[in-house]
Amino acid sequence: MSDKPIKGPASYFPSIEKTYGRPVAEWQALVRQHYPAKHMELVAMLKTEHGLGHGHAIVAQTLDEDKG
């Protein structure tokens, strides 16, 4: 385990999980269900359908993990 602080989109994940009561993996699954939507379409879906305020972080991380 590293003592380095978490940077980038993942740095928001503990707050998202605490605020919205669901693990990030569930939010990422929702994002993946809406592929091949674009980044901002995915952010809008999380906000309008689920009230998520930090959708950019989840979308960015999920897209980054899935690119290949």
In whole angstroms, how far apart are CA 67 and each of 13, 48, 63? 20, 25, 6
How many whole angstroms separate alpha carbon 12 and alpha carbon 2?
18
Q: Give the residue, 50 or 54, on which the prediction is more confident.
A: 50
* 32 phi and psi angles, rounded to 5 deg: -65, -30
Q: Give the residue, 68 or 56, on which the prediction is more confident.
A: 56
pTM: 0.87
What pLDDT is stored for residue 1 in this prediction?
53
Q: Cβ–Cβ contacts within 10 Å for residue 42, how many? A: 23
Summarised one tens digit per residue, pLDDT across range 2-48 is: 677 888 888 999 999 999 999 999 999 999 999 999 999 999 999 99
